[in-house]
Chains A and B, each alone.
Chain A
């Protein structure tokens, strides 16, 4: 048995895979499923619209025409993005809504995660399942459910009216508030889980030590709990903010025509206006905007590790 094991791992026999392959595989994956699609989108963004299939020009017609092809590419779509204030407004509005949703999710998730981490050990798996449970149902169906709740004379209105709290419908449907409710609801688990993980690892004797050294409960929270939960807070904010900023379904279904978000603009450009180059440019700019928090997070993670 031992000689067999040795033979298997001896170099030069071809198996297991040579080291370069192990390193190359993830890169190959990134190349095939991230970089190549990105380049295709970039190429469309640099093209012009055309009444054709697919609806843009120029088309690649072989290496002989490569120079002409490259000359036909331009930054016209990006110029449109910068020139028309609609797009800037949409980006800013998306940033604002995503940031607000992230903040509200953090304010709800932190006490929730703290309560979960403080609960008796035997309860914690059940509490975790409760947090993850909504994922058993389709995201789309859950957003539709919110439509039923928020629409005029919907579940919420009926409930509050029944309790005698309101006379008029709240009129939440098709407002930014409805979008925020939908986003916070949908992304809350992504905020709760990382914060819970960092709080659950927090050594309780640190809190006792802080109390022993004269720290009031508030002081202990500010000086010990929050700093030590910071990796979880950052990860959670990141996991909520990034998908929220490009969100399409929630603003489309709950926000109505009034809510301006970049995901909706992209969808309209692509499907309604059939302006693929402009839609691609919107997508690329969104990616660049998202790269900012991503890089900031990476910087933080590296600093934490050091």
Chain B
């Protein structure tokens, strides 16, 4: 398998685009109810060998339940889960070729690091020397050589996370399940660990299924993301697809910051669509088959795709006048909120990159400004 170009838009790894590719894991019309609540609703999803897949969504969207059904801790009410073509129904967790890294890490408090990692290997009936060798190998992999004799309560949060990872990987699972793997780490450590996990995954060539509510985490690490909403998948795609081409308003708003201009379609000429909104007449270039004049539609626009100008821009493209409402300096960029003229007075977020250390911000509170963006910058959201 070609090594994936991580973080690069041009991916060489895209088996989901290949109709001949055989999925490793398949959820087929899986439904799971808890009492009156439907946690997972008629969900179908395929994971491909070597894929790093993220289930992204707010708490209660069913992402954890979906993962737990693959691990065998929950049983689907209907539908099937297949792993390498084998139906997992009726197979208890301890016989499944998956391993999970728990959100709480769930390290056995009465066992040393060595015994924690060795636990799964001993269940396989591996010989003592083989267990020791494999544990040593795992400790090297997660850079915890010399920690074998420690108890979990003698470890830092980051070290516990690594032990949990080593323990889950020790049995060479076909699929590694990660439940909020970085949730308990502080920001700095989280970023470091993020890249280590990605390297590890590429190195081992394993299929990873990760549950997270953190979109940055999902975007940075995953090959594909399933954005989940109330037990269903709202959209599956590579991070840049999810971000640049959200399928609907839910996905657009859940992943990243976005401005939404609601309005009505007044003309469709090929892929050039005009929308009448409270912010004025907006133009965008986005294919929208079957879109008709008079339909309700919105233009969604990411903050970094907008320019702030002090004078009215000339030429084609979109523009809107307003005044500076708020300026938030965030270091890598400055988030400016602009209140548009007009009755609605919509607030628009604009992200200005801070490219140089010494440029003075050309704008100040209450300045009159013009916003300008390209016709290709916006996304059409229907309905």
Q: Hey, which bits of chain A sit against chain B, CB under 8 A?
A: 203, 205-206, 208-216, 219, 223-224, 227-228
Contact = CB atoms under 8 A, between A and B. Distances in A.
B171 A214 contact: yes
Interface stretch (B119-127, B134-142, B184-192, B257-265): B119-127
Given A205-B104, A208-B93, A213 B167 contact: yes
Contact of A228 (B72, B96, B109): B109
A203 B94 contact: no
B73 interface: yes
Contacts of B95: 214
A213 B123 contact: yes
25 contacts: A203-B104, A205-B106, A206-B108, A208-B73, A208-B100, A208-B102, A209-B106, A209-B108, A212-B93, A212-B96, A212-B99, A212-B100, A212-B168, A213-B94, A213-B123, A213-B167, A213-B171, A214-B123, A214-B124, A215-B123, A216-B123, A223-B108, A223-B119, A224-B108, A227-B110
A219 B108 CA distance: 14
Contacts of A206: 106, 108-109
A211 B120 contact: no
A216 B95 CA distance: 9
Contacts of B73: 208, 211
Contacts of A203: 104, 106
Nearest to A208: B73
Nearest to B117: A213
B110 A213 contact: no
Contacts of B110: 227-228
Nearest to A212: B100
Contacts of B107: 209
A58 B96 CA distance: 79
Contacts of A212: 71, 93-94, 96, 98-100, 168
Given A213-B119, A227-B110, 19 more contacts: A205-B104, A206-B108, A208-B102, A208-B106, A209-B102, A210-B119, A211-B92, A212-B93, A212-B99, A212-B100, A213-B94, A213-B99, A213-B120, A214-B120, A214-B171, A215-B94, A215-B119, A215-B123, A219-B123
Nearest to B103: A205
A212 B95 CA distance: 8
Contacts of B72: 211
A208 B94 CA distance: 9
Q: Which of B108, B120, B168, B171 has the most C-beta atoms of chain A within 10 angstroms of its own C-beta? A: B108
Contacts of B123: 213-216, 219
Interface in B39-74: 71-73
Which 6 residue pairs of A and B lie closest in terms of their CB atoms, listed nearest first? A213-B120, A214-B123, A209-B106, A211-B93, A205-B106, A227-B110
A228 B168 CA distance: 21
Contacts of A215: 94, 119, 123
Contacts of A210: 108, 119
A80 B218 CA distance: 81
A212 B92 CA distance: 9
A214 B96 CA distance: 8
A227 B108 CA distance: 10
A66 to B, nearest CB: 56
Contacts of B92: 211
Contacts of A223: 108, 119
A297 B95 CA distance: 39
Contacts of A216: 94, 123
Contacts of B167: 209, 213
A223 B111 CA distance: 10
B164 to A, nearest CB: 8
Contacts of A211: 72-73, 92-94
A203 B106 CA distance: 8
Contacts of A208: 71, 73, 93, 100, 102, 106
Interface string B306-339: 0000000000000000000000000000000000
Contacts of A209: 100, 102, 106-108, 167
Interface in B62-93: 71-73, 92-93
A4 B108 CA distance: 50
Contacts of B106: 203, 205-206, 208-209
A209 B109 CA distance: 12
Nearest to B170: A213
B94 A214 contact: yes
Nearest to A228: B110
A182 B369 CA distance: 89
A208 to B, nearest CB: 6
Nearest to A204: B106
Contacts of B102: 205, 208-209
Nearest to A224: B108
A213 B176 CA distance: 12
A209 B167 CA distance: 10
A210 B120 CA distance: 8
Contacts of A213: 94, 99, 119-120, 123, 167, 171
A216 B123 CA distance: 8
A216 B94 CA distance: 6
A20 B289 CA distance: 86
B382 to A, nearest CB: 42
A53 B229 CA distance: 88
Contacts of A224: 108
B71 to A, nearest CB: 6
Contacts of A219: 123
B81 to A, nearest CB: 16
A215 B124 CA distance: 9
B326 to A, nearest CB: 39
A226 B224 CA distance: 42
Nearest to A206: B106
Which residue of A223, A227, A228 has the most chain B CB atoms within 10 A of its CB atom?
A223
A209 B160 CA distance: 14
A224 B92 CA distance: 18
Interface in B127-181: 167-168, 171
A29 B71 CA distance: 57
Contacts of B98: 212
B231 to A, nearest CB: 22
Contacts of B168: 212
A71 to B, nearest CB: 56
